[in-house]
Amino acid sequence: MIIEIWTKEKYAGNEEASFIGRLAHAGLKIEAARLSRLYRVDAEFTRDEFDKLGSSLLTDPITERYSLSPGKTGLKDAYRVEVWLKESVTDVVGESVKEAITGVMGKAPGAVRFGRAYYVRCDSEVKLKHAVTRTLVNAVVNKFKIEKV
C-alpha cells in the first residue's frame, strides 16, 4: 500500500514555488506543479488500519491530507514523476517510520520505503526527464519513473 501525503493547497505555495524555481534553473519552464510525499508500507493491514496510519501518524492534521489512492491531483495534462531510493540503498526515513508504525499499530510492517512524487505541467517529457536527472534524482541511489496523468 502506498500512502500519499499532500500539503493542503493553501499551504503549498512555498514548496511549489521553490520547486518550480529549481527546475527553471535546470532549464525547464513549468506552468504548475504539485508535490507529495509517498510512504510505501508493505503490510497486511486492513483499509481502516491504513486510514488510521494516514490520519493519526503520517499527516499533520492542520496543513496536510492523505490519500490511499496515489496519483489524484487537480492538475490536468500533467506528468507525474515518482522518485524512490533504490532497494539496495538504506532508507533512513523508511526505517524510522517503520518503527513508529510498529508503535502505533502494535505490529510491524514488513518494510516501509519513503519516496516523493512531483506533478508537473510542462511542454516536454524529454526536457522534464533531463531536468529531473539534473536536479531531483541521482541514478546512483535513486530510481524514478515519469508518466502522464
Give the pairing type, strands 79-85 and 2-7.
unpaired
- List alpha helices for 27-148, DSSP H: 47-52, 92-105, 125-135
Whole-number minimum distance, CB 50 to other proteins, in Å? 15
- Asked if 117 is part of the footprint of other proteins (rule: CB under 8 A), the reply reads no
Whole-number minimum distance, CB 37 to other proteins, in Å? 9
Query: Which residue stretch of 8-16, 28-36, 65-73, 118-126 sits at the interface with other proteins (rule: CB under 8 A)?
Result: 8-16
Contact yes or no for 98/79 (Cβ under 8 A): no
Closest of 112, 114, 122, 111 to residue 146, by C-alpha? 122
CA–CA separation, 110 vs 102, rounded Å? 10
Nearest residue (CB) to other proteins, 69 versus 90: 90
Query: Which residue stretch of 10-18, 43-51, 70-78, 122-130 sits at the interface with other proteins (rule: CB under 8 A)?
Result: 10-18
> Which residues are registered as beta bridge partners of 119?
34, 80
Contacts with other proteins by CB under 8 A: the residue count is: 31
- Asked if 38 is part of the footprint of other proteins (rule: CB under 8 A), the reply reads no
Rounded to the nearest angstrom, the gap between the alpha carbon of residue 39 and the centroid of all alpha carbons in its chain is 7
Binding-site string for other proteins from residue 66 to residue 105, where x marks contact by CB under 8 A and - marks none: -------------------xx-xxxxxx-xxx-xx--xx-
Closest of 135, 124, 132 to residue 145, by C-alpha? 132
- Asked if 23 is part of the footprint of other proteins (rule: CB under 8 A), the reply reads no
Q: Name the site residues for other proteins (rule: CB under 8 A).
A: 11, 14-15, 18, 56-58, 60-63, 85-86, 88-93, 95-97, 99-100, 103-104, 134-135, 138, 140-141
